Amino acid sequence: MTSSFLLVTFAIVCELIIAVGPTELLRIGAIDVDGHFTVHPSDLTSVSSDFGMLKSPEKPLAVLHPSSAEDVARLIRTAYGSATAFPVSARGHGHSINGQSSVGRNGVVVAMNHRKTGTPEPLVKPEEMYVDVWGGELWVDVLKKTLEHGLAPKSWTDYLYLSVGGTLSNAGISGQAFHHGPQISNVLELDVVTGKGEVKRCSEEENTRLFHGVLGGLGQFGIITRARISLEPAPQRVRWIRVLYSSFEVFTEDQEYLISMHGASKFDYVEGFVIVDEGLVNNWRSSFFSPRNPVKISSVSSNGSVLYCLEITKNYHDSDSETVDQEVEILMKKLNFIPTSVFTTDLQYVDFLDRVHKAELKLRSKNLWEVPHPWLNLFVPKSRISDFDKGVFKGILGNKTSGPILIYPMNKDKWDERSSAVTPDEEVFYLVALLRSALKDGEETQKLEYLKEQNRRILEFCEQAKINVKQYLPHHATQEQWVAHFGDKWDRFRSLKAEFDPRHILATGQRIFQSPSRSLFPPLSSSSSSASW
């Protein structure tokens, strides 16, 4: 061990003592876990920032790499019973945008994705059609494990390198959500460690309020350590189709028609995106078109400015390869896209689901992945989506976007209203996701402050136009804004917080609740109920 490392470690210990006091430091150091704690500078740095890179990096006091739910519970019981009630936050793949998984300088991060400490492997039950997974498991690894049994989860996110607990704390959406609902609508059971350090098993039959509260609950009531996910037979191949529109009204009519279809005679995935920048149609997410099929807006758009791309897929098995063409042709006949703009490819099911990771590797090779991402994700009610198009796509954005803009509708009846997730109060609503990347040395329209100002203008436009949008992956500056965000769900949300995290220990990076004066609380004791796999 080098003298420089000893000096760094001594400095960190001094910082810990200043932050939480010698008594609390001894409490943390004395926690008996099967995983391990670390205060190594590299470990602290690795959890000090997130994918968004919009907040200044802030190192926590320590990092816990747990090997079980009980490890997480022991840490939280220590925090709950301490004089300072130091904050604790779970971190999966660190894909938050606005520092939601941070705990500040006085907290402990639970690194849920650490596989070296013996966290449980996914356990597939083919007969019961479910898989039990550790909360920090990445969806891509869940997919690999379930495919060994010819099965797969029903609902996905576009990017698979996200943790199960992370997406379930928000909702988890992609082009399958119109039919299967978000990922939170496909959960059978959870193990949750509450803000009191209690391990609770919850489902429709047991601890029901906590079960629904945690799903979409932004980490406020507990840390998900296990999730039981519903499965279906996995297809082998995907017919992936993109078609273009120059009319927004026709584009949305077709999307809404597609998500209204039921039974086997329908597409399995419905998404879309807006093209206001000609260059974007031939890169990153749109690499589908390139290089053999480069698209120019001017060649297919009547106004030469904005195009809309419908993205649809049909899943099938190798044994159905002779009939899939006919099925797709029948479904396509009722759509009103530009006839010359059909782009089709065929690939393995796993390759389709993991399509964004390939784009990630390309961006990483160009040093364009680890840059600020001022993303803005909005749920827009169907009745106002045309106004949003005119004010934002054809107005505020201009002809430069610095990243993909997704747009697709979902059915509200596929969302369980008992969850904490918030959607507009209409039967159909749209996701609009502005997935922009900021470049320090790019054009003015690619710089961070420009894009953040554009986001502010979009939200201001919606407020002034009385478009009742709801943020997905929400970020609000004041509790008043959070109250407005949750609307009718706020009283229940606040009640759940008081019951399951009364000292406001968990997920303080969301900045939903004001931290109570922790020094006013006497040390508390709590019991724990164990939960086995």
Q: Give the range among 22-26, 254-258, 507-511 with minimum mean pLDDT.
A: 22-26
Identify the residue with better confidence: 451 or 24: 451
Instruction: State pLDDT tens for residues 64-120.
Output: 999 999 999 999 999 999 988 999 999 999 999 999 989 999 999 999 986 666 788
What SS3 state is found at 367? coil
Backbone angles phi, psi at 414, to 5 degrees: -90, 0
Distance spanning both ends of the chain, measured CA to CA = 39
pTM score above 0.85: yes
CATH level 2 (architecture), domain 237-471: 3-Layer(aba) Sandwich (3.40)
Based on the residue annotation, tell me whether 268 is a catalytic residue of this protein: no
Read off the pLDDT band of 262 (50, 70, 90): confident
Per DSSP bridges, beta strands 151-153 and 199-203 are unpaired
Q: With 80 as the cut, is the pLDDT of residue 277 above it?
A: no
Based on the residue annotation, tell me whether 475 is a catalytic residue of this protein: no
In sequence order, what are the residues at sequence separation of 6 or more whose Cβ sits closer than 8 angstroms to the Cβ of residue 293? 343
Instruction: State pLDDT tens for residues 458-470.
Output: 999 999 999 999 9
Within this chain, domains 123-233 and 237-471 share the same CATH topology: no
Active-site annotation holder among 43, 271, 277, 278: 271
Instruction: State pLDDT tens for residues 191-248.
Output: 999 999 999 999 999 999 999 999 999 999 999 999 999 999 999 999 999 999 999 9
Read off the pLDDT band of 528 (50, 70, 90): very low
160-164-168-171 Cα dihedral, nearest 10 degrees: 0
Q: What is the pLDDT of residue 243?
A: 97
Active-site annotation holder among 15, 40, 149, 158: 158
Domain segments of the chain as ranges:
1-26, 123-233, 237-471
- Measured between alpha carbons, how far is 245 from 337 in angstroms, rounded to an integer? 5
The domain made up of 123-233 has a fold known as: 3.30.465
69-71-76-78 Cα dihedral, nearest 10 degrees: 150
Percentage of the chain exceeding pLDDT 70: 85
Q: What is the pLDDT of residue 35?
A: 84
Based on the residue annotation, tell me whether 325 is a catalytic residue of this protein: no
- Measured between alpha carbons, how far is 368 from 284 in angstroms, rounded to an integer? 11
Read off the pLDDT band of 527 (50, 70, 90): very low
Active-site annotation holder among 65, 93, 95, 212: 95
Contact 399, 276 (CB under 8 A): yes
CA proximity to 448, closest of 17, 56, 137, 129? 56
